[in-house]
């Protein structure tokens, strides 16, 4: 393990933890603006997490160890997954870090624990959330894997680091295929982070909620971890999208100035994408749950089409 790689581990984790709450608040802000409201401050998510850390944790008398370890495991899995997506600096891959399939399955690990914790408190809201989350994640999975296969096909590698390095080396020349993949990745981003039209992150109504239902029984520092890990997951998927399509600013050799410029550029790119997500969410209503499979089927055929175009081109 090189010195650069250890530095990368530290830098990437730090940046993702610092920027993640910002993007979440930004999306909320954009949504508030489109509704003609002023909205909460862009730093609100930081305040919320700090406040939650100071509160006590409440457990149901029936809850088991699952409830207690889930926030930890969830956060750890998402943080390790965060090491798979370089935000600003792309080192040489080592130990298979950056493997796109492992990345996907680390997120699945977090989801597995979260869904179990949803069932643990014995409330029907949690069960509802878990059931819906596992169902949706199962039927979006073929699309996700096809999109990732398309990525692997285009870049001729399975490693996200190599993809980014390739993207940087070829400059900001965005090919049509890449734009098509970008659209598919955007759909996956919306689904994986529980946003409209799949889920509504703002409501706590049993008819609509999925992700919020699962974490309804979490409180205090545990809730803070759950909120933060959701924010980190959002940032990761955003970074995957922007760094593939707009790779400018990413550095492959470590210098302090380069790092600073890259970090600023990453935040700028992230802010723009957050704005797009906010506008996208505001422009449509939540879909009925059982209409979602047809949306996913559309995304699936769309991404299969990309590969078929690429295969026979």
Identify any residues that bridge with 99 across adjacent strands, giving them in sequence order.
Answer: 159
Element (H, E) at 289: none
Pick the binder of another protein from 96, 205, 260, 298 (CB under 8 A).
Answer: 96
Residue 243 CB, nearest approach to another protein (Å): 20
Whose tokens are 């499979």? That residue is: 293
The answer to whether 151 touches 159, Cβ cutoff 8 Å, is: no
* Assigned token pair, 86: 């370089």
For residue 177, the number of C-alpha atoms closer than 13 Å in the C-beta half-sphere is 17
Pick the binder of another protein from 225, 237, 239, 262 (CB under 8 A).
Answer: 225
Determine the interface stretch with another protein among 168-176, 235-243, 244-252, 288-296 (rule: CB under 8 A): 288-296
Residue 297 CB, nearest approach to another protein (Å): 11
Determine the interface stretch with another protein among 32-40, 197-205, 216-224, 268-276 (rule: CB under 8 A): 216-224
Task: Decide whether 160 or 242 has the Cβ nearer to another protein.
Answer: 160
Is 124 near another protein (CB under 8 A)? yes
Pick the binder of another protein from 122, 175, 179, 248 (CB under 8 A).
Answer: 122
Is 16 near another protein (CB under 8 A)? no
Site for another protein in 155-184 (CB under 8 A): 156, 158
Determine the interface stretch with another protein among 134-142, 196-204, 252-260, 276-284 (rule: CB under 8 A): 134-142
Residue 164 CB, nearest approach to another protein (Å): 17
Task: Quote the longest CA-to-CA distance of the chain.
Answer: 61
Pick the binder of another protein from 58, 172, 179, 309 (CB under 8 A).
Answer: 58
> Which phi and psi angles does 261 have, rounded to 5°?
-60, -45
Please tell me the distance from the alpha carbon of residue 289 to that of residue 156, in angstroms, as a whole number. 36
The answer to whether 261 touches 249, Cβ cutoff 8 Å, is: yes
Is 227 near another protein (CB under 8 A)? no
| Number of other residues whose CB lies within 10 A of the CB of residue 41 | 12
Is 51 near another protein (CB under 8 A)? no
CA distances from 68 to 50, 101, 222 (A): 20, 28, 8
């Amino acid at each position: 393990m090189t010195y650069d790689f250890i530095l990368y581990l530290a830098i990437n984790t730090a940046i993702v933890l610092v920027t993640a709450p910002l993007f979440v608040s930004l999306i909320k802000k954009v949504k508030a603006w489109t509704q003609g409201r002023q909205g909460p401050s862009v730093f609100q998510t930081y305040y919320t997490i700090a406040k939650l850390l100071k509160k006590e944790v409440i457990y149901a008398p029936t809850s088991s160890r699952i409830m207690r370890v889930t926030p930890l495991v969830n956060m750890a899995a998402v943080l390790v997954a965060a090491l798979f997506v370089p935000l600003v600096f792309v080192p040489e891959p080592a130990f298979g870090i950056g493997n796109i399939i492992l990345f996907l399955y680390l997120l699945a690990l977090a989801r597995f624990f979260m869904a179990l914790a949803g069932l643990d408190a014995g409330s029907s809201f949690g069960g509802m959330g878990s059931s819906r989350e596992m169902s949706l994640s199962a039927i979006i999975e073929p699309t996700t894997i096809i999109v990732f296969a398309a990525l692997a096909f285009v870049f001729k590698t399975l490693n996200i680091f190599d993809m980014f390095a390739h993207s940087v080396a070829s400059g900001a020349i965005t090919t049509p295929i890449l734009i098509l993949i970008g659209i598919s990745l955007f759909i996956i981003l919306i689904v994986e982070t529980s946003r409209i039209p799949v889920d509504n992150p703002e409501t706590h109504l049993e008819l609509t909620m999925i992700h919020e239902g699962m974490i309804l029984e979490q409180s205090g520092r545990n809730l803070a971890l759950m909120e933060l890990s959701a924010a980190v997951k959002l940032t990761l998927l955003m970074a995957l999208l922007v760094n593939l399509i707009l790779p400018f600013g990413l550095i492959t050799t470590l210098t302090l100035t380069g790092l600073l410029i890259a970090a600023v550029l990453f935040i700028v790119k992230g802010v723009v994408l957050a704005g797009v997500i906010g506008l996208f969410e505001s422009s449509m209503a939540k879909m009925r749950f059982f209409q979602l499979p047809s949306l996913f089927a559309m995304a699936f055929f769309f991404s299969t089409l990309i590969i078929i175009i690429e295969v026979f081109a």
